[in-house]
Structure 1
Amino acid sequence: MKLKHSVSAVALLAMAAGACAQDVVVKIGHSGPLSGAQAFSGKDNENGARLAVEELNAKPITVGGKKLKFELMSEDDQGDPKAGVSVAQKLADAGVKYVVGPYNSGVAIPASRIYNEAGALIAPVATNPKLTQQGYKNIFRINASDTQLGSKMALYAANELKVKNVAVIDDRTAFGQGLAEEFKKQARASGLQVAGHEYTTDKAVDFTAILTKLKSKNVQAVFFGGYAPQGAPMARQMKQLGIQAKLLGGDTICTAEMGKLGGDAVGENVLCAQGGTLLDKAASGPAFKAKYKKRFNAEPDVYASAYYDAVLMYAASMQKVNSIDPAKVGADISAGTYKGVSGAYAFDAKGDMKSSPVTIFTFKNGQPAAIASY
Structure 2
Amino acid sequence: MRHRSALVVSIAVIGALSLSACGSRGEKSSGTGGNANSGDVTVVIGVDAPLTGDLSALGLGIRNSVDLAVKQANDTKEVPGVKFEIKALDDTAKPAPGQQNATQFVADSKVLGVVGPLNTSVAQSMQQIFDDAKLVEVSPANTGVELSQGEKWASGVKKRPFQSYFRTATTDAIQGPFAAQFLYNDAKKTKVFLIDDQKAYGAGLASTFKGEFTKLGGTIAGEEHVNPDDRDFSAIVTKVRSSGADAVYYGGEYPAAGPLSLQLKEAGITIPMMGGDAIQSGEYLKLNPKSQGDFATAVGLPVDSLDTAKKFIADYKAAGYKDAYETYGGYSYDSAWAIIQGVKAAKAGGKELTRVAVRDAVQKVSFDGVTGKVSFDEFGDTTNKQLTAYTAKDGKWAVEKSGTFKG
TM over 0.5: yes
The answer to whether the 8 Å contact 1:271/1:362 transfers is yes
Deviations 1:212-242 (A, max 9, x none): 1021011011111111111110111011111
The answer to whether the 8 Å contact 1:305/1:342 transfers is yes
SS in 2 for 1:27: strand
- How far did 1:277 drift? 1.5
**Greater percentage in helix:** 1
The answer to whether the 8 Å contact 1:254/1:368 transfers is yes
Distance 1:288 1:260 in 2: 25
Distance 1:158 1:310 in 2: 33
Residue 364 (1) aligns with residue 372 (2):
no
Correspondences of 1:89-108 after superposition (within 5 Å): 89-95=103-109, 96-108=111-123
The answer to whether the 8 Å contact 1:255/1:367 transfers is no
- How far did 1:158 drift? 1.0
Q: Kindly name which structure, 1 or 2, has the bigger radius of gyration based on alpha carbons.
A: 1
Unaligned stretches of 5+ residues in structure 2 = 1-33, 151-160
Residue 33 (1) aligns with residue 47 (2):
no
Change (3 A) 1:159 1:56: same
Report the residue type matching 1:221 in the other structure: A
The correspondence for 2:330, drawn from 302, 305, 310, is 305
Correspondences of 1:81-160 after superposition (within 5 Å): 81-95=95-109, 96-124=111-139, 125-134=141-150, 135-160=161-186
Moved more, 246-255 or 356-365: 356-365
SS in 1 for 2:100: helix
Equivalent residue, structure 2, for 1:276: 300
Report the residue type matching 1:292 in the other structure: Y
Report the residue type matching 1:273 in the other structure: T
Equivalent residue, structure 2, for 1:9: none
- How far did 1:19 drift? 7.7
Residue 23 (1) aligns with residue 36 (2):
no
Distance 2:128 2:300 in 1: 27
Equivalent residue, structure 2, for 1:245: 271
Distance 1:18 1:314 in 2: 20
The answer to whether the 8 Å contact 1:167/1:197 transfers is yes
Equivalent residue, structure 1, for 2:376: 347
Residue 198 (1) aligns with residue 246 (2):
no
Report the residue type matching 2:354 in the other structure: D
Following TM superposition, the consecutive aligned residue runs of length 4 or more in structure 1 with deviations greater than 3 angstroms are 17-21
Equivalent residue, structure 2, for 1:167: 193
The answer to whether the 8 Å contact 2:300/2:384 transfers is no
- How far did 1:21 drift? 4.9
Change (3 A) 1:99 1:271: same
SS in 1 for 2:165: coil
SS in 1 for 2:243: coil
The answer to whether the 8 Å contact 2:45/2:86 transfers is yes
The answer to whether the 8 Å contact 1:97/1:119 transfers is no
The answer to whether the 8 Å contact 1:347/1:354 transfers is yes
Residue 53 (1) aligns with residue 70 (2):
yes
Unaligned stretches of 5+ residues in structure 1 = 1-16
- How far did 1:329 drift? 3.0
SS in 2 for 1:361: strand
Residue 236 (1) aligns with residue 252 (2):
no
Distance 1:18 1:121 in 2: 23
Distance 1:261 1:286 in 2: 29
Equivalent residue, structure 1, for 2:8: none
The answer to whether the 8 Å contact 1:109/1:130 transfers is no
Number of matched pairs: 353
Moved more, 321-330 or 357-366: 321-330
Moved more, 45-54 or 323-332: 323-332
Report the residue type matching 1:119 in the other structure: K
Distance 2:38 2:94 in 1: 42
Residue 210 (1) aligns with residue 236 (2):
yes
User: RMSD over aligned Cα, in angstroms?
Assistant: 1.8
The answer to whether the 8 Å contact 1:128/1:145 transfers is yes
- How far did 1:298 drift? 4.9
- How far did 1:291 drift? 1.3
SS in 2 for 1:252: coil
Distance 1:60 1:116 in 2: 29
Give the structure-1-normalised TM-score. 0.90
The answer to whether the 8 Å contact 1:293/1:300 transfers is no
Distance 2:234 2:35 in 1: 67
The answer to whether the 8 Å contact 2:338/2:365 transfers is no
Residue 316 (1) aligns with residue 341 (2):
yes
Distance 1:202 1:155 in 2: 26
Bigger relative contact order, structure 1 or 2 (CA pairs below 8 A, ≥6 apart): 2
Equivalent residue, structure 2, for 1:327: 356
Change (3 A) 1:100 1:194: same
Distance 1:18 1:189 in 2: 59
The answer to whether the 8 Å contact 1:292/1:298 transfers is no
Distance 1:92 1:98 in 2: 10
